Amino acid sequence: MLEPLLDRDATIYSCTGDLAIQLEVPKDSSLVQVDVAKIMRAASWRGGRIDDKIVSIEGGRAVTIEKERPVGKLHGLLLSGVGYTPPSKMGNIYEQGDSMQPPSTLNFMETVDKGKIRTSVVIDGQIVTQRPSYAPLGSYCSEQLKRKIVNTRNALRLPISFLRPTVEAWGRYVDLEYHGQNLGFVVFGIPSAYLPRFAAQYARKAAVDKFDLAIFAKDMSKLMKIMGWNLKKLHKAGWAHHQPHFSNFYMLGNEICLMDWSTMTPLGNTSIERAMNKAIDLRIVQQDVGIICEGLYGFRGDELYEISMAMLTEIVSSYYGRRVDMVGNFLTLANAGMDNLTEMEALIKVVEGNGRVRV
């Protein structure tokens, strides 16, 4: 038996399928025995397959199953880190494939472009782009797993408006190790086992309904307003998410369930650090509008730039309120060539540093 990963008083289950696992269920979990049995069947790859034990594949290395007893708005379970699905590409939008392989100790980072899977954070007033050198294929190292669990639990305590996943359980693979760390997975409570993340949900709906550009712009404008308001609440609580992109949240009407809190960090101790960390979150959301627009419509250049700037206006206005000086400064500098993350952070440093908005 492995030593408990976090909670000493967690209930521990063992299961051997094609893979041997140790599942730990904390005391505050809402799982019942039926849920535990379904999790162990899927995560252990019993019978060499996972497809017949799940509802859907989600996000490349996760699967969903139904939850026996819903809790509030969370009706499904996400098992993150139980396998790997090679993604397919629709324009610039990555879509998960339709078959999954068991997790392994191979390096996932060798399968993706160097420009992908990176996070920008602010450390001592400097922008640092972090990209792990190693990530197990389809799973998490023990330290990565701890960070996901602890950060998600901390996020649940914040006075913010985002709907957040619950941590229902976590597990490790007894025979899969990397540098002495057993690989593992985590079980989250999510809105539904049948609801895709927003990027996939919107791309599929657009493919069926053939949205014209006016409808797309209206949809994105609404999303920018909702996201700007939610991020403002998060930042007011003193934290940045750093990865609020379109493949990291579920949309439930006007409510956003934001996932992957492992990247959550404090805004910082100085006004410049706080401004720059806010900028990272705002910029990621606005950039994703351009990515999905190009994927759906093939727009580039001036057409894409016009839509991108319109969405920048919406998210900035939602975040700061209808402040003419703020929106004007953003757009003036943006139109002068602000088209990447570093420049956007510099932009907010200038605007907020001039005292036009309190940090």
pLDDT-above-70 percentage for the chain:
77
Q: Are 170 and 145 in contact (CB under 8 A)?
A: yes
Q: How confident is the model at residue 91 (pLDDT cuts 50, 70, 90)?
A: very low
Maximum mean pLDDT: which of 114-123, 134-143, 242-251: 242-251
Give me the mean pLDDT over the 273-277 stretch. Answer: 79
Higher pLDDT, 231 or 325: 231
Tens of pLDDT, residues 315-348: 888 887 765 555 555 555 555 444 444 555 555 5
Give me the mean pLDDT over the 312-317 stretch. Answer: 83
Average pLDDT, the chain: 83
Q: Are 146 and 66 in contact (CB under 8 A)?
A: no
Identify the three-state secondary structure at position 177.
Answer: strand
- Residue 230 is predicted with a pLDDT of 96
- Residue 356 is predicted with a pLDDT of 44
Give the residue from 137, 106, 133 showing the smallest Cα distance to 118: 133
Q: Domain limits of the chain?
A: 11-125+132-190, 198-353
**Residue 170 confidence (pLDDT) above 90:** yes
**Residue 112 confidence (pLDDT) above 50:** yes
CA distance 290 to 300: 9
- Residue 354 is predicted with a pLDDT of 46
Give me the mean pLDDT over the 3-17 stretch. Answer: 93
Give me the mean pLDDT over the 50-56 stretch. Answer: 94
In which residue are the tokens 């499904």 written? 76
Q: Which residues of 76-102 are buried (b: 16+ CB within 10 A; e: fewer)?
A: bbbbbbbbbbeeeebeebbbbeeebeb
**Residue 176 parent element (H or E):** strand 166-178
What are 307's two structure tokens?
């839509």
What are 347's two structure tokens?
């932009």
Tens of pLDDT, residues 121-141: 555 555 555 556 566 788 998
* Nearest 10 degrees: Cα torsion 143, 145, 146, 150: 140
**Residue 145 confidence (pLDDT) above 70:** yes
Tens of pLDDT, residues 186-225: 999 999 999 999 998 998 888 888 888 889 999 999 999 9
**Residue 111 confidence (pLDDT) above 90:** no
Give the residue from 207, 199, 174, 287 showing the smallest Cα distance to 249: 199
- Residue 45 is predicted with a pLDDT of 95
- Residue 355 is predicted with a pLDDT of 38
Record the pTM.
Answer: 0.84
**Residue 358 confidence (pLDDT) above 70:** no
Tens of pLDDT, residues 20-29: 999 999 999 9
Higher pLDDT, 260 or 128: 260
Maximum mean pLDDT: which of 110-114, 140-144, 161-165: 161-165
Give the class (CATH, top level) of 198-353: mainly alpha
Beta bridge partners of 101: 84
Tens of pLDDT, residues 56-76: 998 788 999 999 999 999 999
Q: Are 33 and 12 in contact (CB under 8 A)?
A: no
- Residue 33 is predicted with a pLDDT of 97
Higher pLDDT, 192 or 88: 192
